[in-house]
Structure 1
Amino acid sequence: MRPIDLAREHGLSAQAVRNYEDAGILPPTERSETGYRRYTPLHAQALRAFLALRGGHGHQQAMAIMHATNRGDTESAYRLIDAAHVALLAERDTRTEVATALGVLSATTPTPVDGRPLTVGELARRIGVHPATLRTWETAGILRPARERATGYRHYGPDCVRDAEIARQLRRGGYLLHQVARFIESLREAGGTDALSAFLDSWQDRLTMRSRNLLTGAAQLDTYLTMLDKTQQGWPAT
């Protein structure tokens, strides 16, 4: 097989296939008497495995998995794959926490803050907590009050007041500080509770797609490993 034979299957250039070989993504090839590379079905499957792995793991991680596989270090390859699944599970749990937190919030919209921002004491009285609690929430990343340059006093604008009221509701619901902080950060990124709901749907779609991509990559890698085993046992690379 020529480089172009492998390239056509994936819409790549022949040079891209040669580059993948030079990068160690494909196993070494034999050369003809005239110096041309001779690819086999084993190389074709290695390319399929890499491109499928790249969809779930990203380029660098997929390349590391192929490097480990091609040097016979399957333990390292499996560890890289397992780590990706662990990270995906953690992200899935975070998304679930945020979605659940959104669901337990009161349907009542917080009363808008008119006029000047609130001081730490005024905000504490408004939501019924101790001022020290607000400082703890700030340390946890839940609140981001502005500061007066001259005095260093904290000022809590409308967004801060909203975040504080949400934090109070979630804390009363038993959420830990780091869970509240994750929810508030997601809320900021989305731009409000309505936008957050749409963001959560999109986030779920991304998680589902990544799970499918990881499965596809694993299936292609498994086929490649089976072919490697047969080649090492003296079977033809078909």
Structure 2
Amino acid sequence: MRPIDLAREHGLSAQAIRNYDDAGALPPTERSTSGHRRYTPLHAQALRSFLALRTGHGHGQAVEIMRAVNEGDNESAYRLIDVAHVALRAERGTRTEVATALAGLSATAPAPLRGRPLTVGELARRLCLHPATLRTWETAGILRPDRDRVTGYRHYGPDGVRDAEIARQLRRGGYRLRQVAQFLESLRAAGGAEALGVFLESWQQRLTVRSRNLLAGAAQLDRYLTMRDEIAREDVSAAAAHRPPRP
């Protein structure tokens, strides 16, 4: 087969196939006497594997996986695949922690702050906490107070007070400082609790899609490895059949 023959199945250009070949995503390629590349069904399956892996792992990682396999280093390929699954598991855990924290918040929100921002002492009294606790939360990335331009003193506007109240509630629920900071970061990025709910649903959908993509890539790679092993066994059998008998 020619590069264009492999390319048609996936709507790619012949040049893209040559690029993947040069990058090591395809197994070694024979050339005709005129120098043209000649591909086989094994190359076609390698291309399917690479494209499927790329969807779940990204281009660079997919190239590394296929290059390792084509160099006979399956162990390195498996390690690269394992890394992707570990990262996905960690991200899934993060999403679960944030969702749990959101569900654990009180249904009755505290009265929003009105008027001027609060000082550390005023906010501490509002929450029945020690001012040192608020400073610890700031160090942990939970709170981000503004600073007075003249005095440098901390002051907390409506968003800062909201974050502190949420942090107090989560801490009472047993959440660690890292988890509280993580939740509030997600809340700020989403733009509020209601928006965070939508964000979490979208996040879950992305995780599901990536899980399926990783599975699809693994399935195509397994077909490629199986095909390659079968060809290797056939080559060994053919070589044995043509080996002259021992005297």
Q: TM-score range by the shorter chain?
A: over 0.9
How much is the aligned-residue C-alpha RMSD, in angstroms?
1.1
Measure the CA separation in 1 of the matches of 2:131 and 2:210. 43
Q: Any idea what SS the aligned residue of 2:123 has?
A: helix
Stretches of structure 2 that go unaligned for 5 or more consecutive residues are 237-247
How many angstroms does 1:235 deviate by?
4.5
Shift of the alpha carbon at 1:128? 1.2
SS of the residue aligned with 1:114? coil
- Looking at structure 2, the residues matched to 217 and 167 of structure 1 have their Cα atoms a distance apart, in angstroms, of 41
The correspondence of residues 149-188 of structure 1 with structure 2, limited to 5 A, is: 149-188=149-188
Residue of structure 2 in register with 1:94 after alignment: 94
In the other structure, the counterpart of 2:130 is 130
% identical equivalent positions: 78
Q: Name whichever of 149-158 and 170-179 sits farther off.
A: 149-158
- The structure whose RCO (Cα within 8 Å, separation 6+) is larger is 1
CA displacement at 1:12 relative to structure 2: 0.3
Mapped to 2, the partners of 1:159 and 1:29 lie a distance apart of 61
* Count of matched residue pairs: 236
Gaps of 5+ in 1: none
Q: Work out the CA distance in 2 between the residues paired with 1:73 and 1:150.
A: 63
Aligned to 2:34: 34
Could you say which residue in structure 2 is the equivalent of 1:211?
211
Alpha-carbon distance in 2 for matches of 1:152, 1:127: 23
Specify the alignment match of 1:49 in structure 2.
49
Which of structure 1's runs of 4+ aligned residues deviate more than 3 A?
none
Query: Which residue in the other structure is 2:16 paired with?
Result: 16
What is the 5 A alignment of 1:58-69?
58-69=58-69
SS in 2 for 1:233: helix
Q: d(CA) in 2 for partners of 1:222 and 1:183?
A: 39
Q: TM-score scaled by structure 1?
A: 0.97
- Tell me by how many angstroms 1:149 deviates: 2.7
Q: Secondary structure at the match of 2:234?
A: coil
1:113 CA drift (Å): 1.1
TM-score (norm 2): 0.93
Cα distance between partner residues in 1 of 2:11 and 2:126: 62
3-state SS of the aligned residue for 2:188? helix
Deviation at 1:108, TM superposition (A): 1.2
Secondary structure of the residue aligned to 1:234 is helix
Instruction: Provide the rounded CA distance (Å) in 2 between the counterparts of 1:121 and 1:78.
Output: 55
- Greater alpha carbon shift after TM alignment, 144-153 vs 127-136: 144-153
How far apart are residue 89 of structure 1 and its match?
A: 0.5
